[in-house]
Amino acid sequence: MLTHATVEESQKLEAVRSRLMEGQRSRGSLIPILQTIQKEMGYLPAEALDLVAGLLNISAGEVYGVASFYNQFRFNPPGKHQIKVCLGTACHVRGGDIILENFERKLDIKEGHTTEDREFSLERVACVGCCALAPVVLMNEKTHGYMSPSKVEGLFTQLEIAKKKSESNKTDGSE
């Protein structure tokens, strides 16, 4: 359920911690503190919940209770490629859930999770406002309309190609 911070992130968290120690430390500042941490880290790792609990002298469970109530707080790191599958009415009717399932199978993660290598994170969103293109997928804020299982494959192939290209460019540059 909760993701543990990497070594790098722990250092980042330490930096945020010293900043928070100077600010408001009452129960009422719980949400602003969580927002500050998420802004800094991109998500709330398990260690962050313990940190906030320590700051405000409440139980980490209580912090989780509040944080898990709000959609804006996430407990898994955003991937390098954030995939958002639209499941609004139009996309739902035109098989958005099939597209979501395609991504789930391809990445071997459930909706709302992040791949082990933090390359991809998968989310469902309510409506991205271009129903005429249903079913829609957002990949890092780029919109892909009229999605189909074959197009899902196509997206990954494109990423593979782009990756290979940048790698070969790197090796060319170093020579």
Partner 1 sequence: MIKLYIDNWEIHATEGISVLQAALDSEIYIPNLCWVREMTDPPASCRLCFVEIAGRPAPVTACTTIVENDMEVHTDTEAVRELQRTSLKLLLSAHHVDCGHCPANKKCELQNLARFLKVKLKPAEFPTYQPTGLIDTSHPHLDYNRDRCVLCGRCVNACRDKNGRPLFTFAGRGSETIVTPLFPPAGQALDKDASLVCVDLCPTGALTRKG
User: 66: number of CA atoms within 13 Å, CB side?
Assistant: 17
The CA distance from 61 to 70, in Å, is 15
Q: Is 32 in the site for partner 1 (CB under 8 A)?
A: no
* CB 27 to partner 1: min, Å: 12
Q: Is 139 in the site for partner 1 (CB under 8 A)?
A: no
- 55-63, 76-84, 101-109, 128-136 -> range binding partner 1 (CB under 8 A): 55-63
For 9, other C-beta atoms within 10 Å of its C-beta total 19
* CB 18 to partner 1: min, Å: 20
Q: Is 64 in the site for partner 1 (CB under 8 A)?
A: yes
* Alpha helix segments (H runs only) across 2-137: 7-22, 30-41, 46-56, 60-67, 89-93, 96-107
* CB 131 to partner 1: min, Å: 24
* CB 45 to partner 1: min, Å: 17
Q: Is 61 in the site for partner 1 (CB under 8 A)?
A: yes
Q: Is 57 in the site for partner 1 (CB under 8 A)?
A: yes
Contact residue for partner 1 among 2, 65, 154, 165 (CB under 8 A) = 65
The CA distance from 49 to 64, in Å, is 7
* CB 172 to partner 1: min, Å: 50
Please name the residue that has the structure tokens 């271009």: 130
User: 117: number of CA atoms within 13 Å, CB side?
Assistant: 5
Q: Kindly tell me the burial class for residue 82, based on how many C-beta atoms sit within 10 Å of its own C-beta (0-12, 13-18, 19 or more).
A: middle
Contact residue for partner 1 among 31, 53, 130, 131 (CB under 8 A) = 53
- Interacting residues with partner 1 (CB under 8 A): 53-54, 57, 59-62, 64-65, 68-70
